[in-house]
Amino acid sequence: MDLRTEISEFLRTRRARITPEQAGLGTAGGRRVPGLRREEVAVLASISVDWYVRIERGNLTGVSDEVLHALAAALQLDDAETTHLHDLARAARSSTHRSATRTTRPALRPGLQTIIDSMQGLPAWARNHRFEIIATNSLAQALYCDLLQSRIAAGNNARFTFLDPLARDFYVDWEQTANDVVAVLRGYAGANPADRRLSHLVGELATRSDDFSRRWARYDVKYHRTGRKVLRHRVVGDLDLGFEALALPDSRTLSLFAYYPADEPTRERLQLLESWAATEARDGAWPHPVQPQ
């Protein structure tokens, strides 16, 4: 992932989505391309046109936090997009993006595994910024059994979403799930530009999945902190679930997730899923998950 291209395309796509009317500049007709012009962004951010052109060409070196905040306001960036812009600037100020590092899979402390295991009746798990699931309780293992046992995914939800056909059945709204995975992964890539394994994952998905490539080219960024989704489990059927995500305070790469039932039928199906998982484990029919590589 070339940093200058990342900066340039991110700013260009954010600029293209805002109309002059949305920016408070009045109606402007006769435009060949949608969105704001570069000189209009410069006016809104109170910087020179030449400076903004330099920035949009991918050069954030020496750009202050004050200017970044002004650009975020001019381009109407949300919190996730603003953080991403600052991450890109941080990478531009350092030399870490020029020398990618080999990173290991972070381990989960035993105490956190105990907390995850203690969340009875709710699927709970932890994953890192590369979408590798590194810990689950028994109910989450049962819920995500197809993902965890997938040799294609190898414990990675991004690979599962785009490369394993089972994902399109499991995620009832696969389109939205795919959009979310890419937008969250884009943010992680900006925050971890020297992570060689993360770059390899993005390259692998872009090469093997046209669906991923199209979404990656949008340069969308978002947080994935709370929400609701429907999962279709092959044993118990559809599960309407809310979720909460908690970033672990001493780690920039690990997050703890928990699902909860959004309606009574889902509550009953989670109980059925828990019974099924216990039976599978007791009978020795529960295979070990395929671990992330």
Same domain, 138 and 202: yes
| Closest CA relative to residue 115, chosen from 258, 250, 253, 251 | 258
Please indicate, yes or no, whether residues 45 and 115 belong to a single structural domain of this protein. Answer: no
Q: For every one of its 293 residues, what pLDDT tens digit does the chain have, with 9 covering 90 and above?
A: 689 999 999 999 999 999 888 888 876 566 777 799 999 999 999 999 999 999 999 999 889 999 999 999 999 999 999 999 999 999 998 854 445 555 555 566 778 889 899 998 999 999 999 999 999 999 999 999 999 999 999 999 999 999 999 999 999 999 999 999 999 999 999 999 989 999 999 999 999 999 999 999 999 999 989 999 999 999 999 999 999 998 887 677 889 999 999 999 999 999 999 999 888 777 666 655 655 55
Contact between residue 65 and residue 7 where contact means Cβ atoms under 8 Å apart = no
The residue to which tokens 């020795």 are assigned: 284
Give the residue from 192, 1, 204, 207 showing the smallest Cα distance to 103.
192
Q: Where in the chain does DSSP place strands (E)?
A: 124-128, 133-136, 226-233, 237-247, 254-261
Backbone angle region of 219, left / alpha / beta, with phi > 0 → left and psi within -120 to 50 → alpha: left
267/273 Cα distance (integer angstroms) = 10
Per-residue model confidence (pLDDT) at position 31: 73
Q: Which of 51, 68, 98 is the last residue of a domain?
A: 98
- What local confidence, expressed as pLDDT, does residue 247 receive? 83
Q: How many domains does the chain have?
A: 2
Q: Does 24 reside within a domain?
A: yes
| Shared-domain flag, residues 115 and 38 | no
Last residue of a domain, one of 53, 74, 98: 98
- Is residue 116 domain-shared with residue 218, that is, in the same domain? yes
Q: Which CATH number do you get for residue 36?
A: 1.10.260.40
What pTM, to 2 d.p., does this model score?
A: 0.89
Q: Tell me the CATH number at 124.
A: 3.30.450.180
Residues 118 and 217 in one domain: yes
Please compute, for residue 12, the number of CA atoms within 13 A of its CA located in the half-sphere on the CB side. 14
Residue 115 lies in a domain: yes
Instruction: Based on the fold, state whether residues 12 and 126 are members of the same structural domain.
Output: no
Residue 199 domain flag: yes
- Neighbouring residues of 248: CB distance < 8 A, sequence distance ≥ 6: 112, 126, 254, 255, 256
Q: Which residue, 49, 73, 98, sits at the end of a domain?
A: 98
Q: How far apart are CA 285 and CA 227, in angstroms?
A: 33
94 plus 151 within the same structural domain: no
Residues 204 and 115 in one domain: yes
Same domain, 171 and 35: no
Give me the pLDDT at residue 88, please. Answer: 95
For residue 105, is it within any domain?
no
Structural domain of 38: 3-98
Tell me, yes or no, whether 85 and 122 share the same domain: no
Shared-domain flag, residues 230 and 255: yes
- For residue 288, tell me if it sits in a domain: no
Q: Which of 234, 229, 236, 241 is nearest to 273 (CA)?
A: 236
Name the DSSP letter for residue 280: H
Q: Please tell me whether residues 179 and 257 are part of one structural domain.
A: yes
Q: Has residue 287 been placed in a domain?
A: no
pLDDT at residue 97 in the model: 46
Cα distance between residue 71 and residue 38, in whole Å? 11
Is residue 80 within 8 A of residue 220, CB to CB? The reply is no
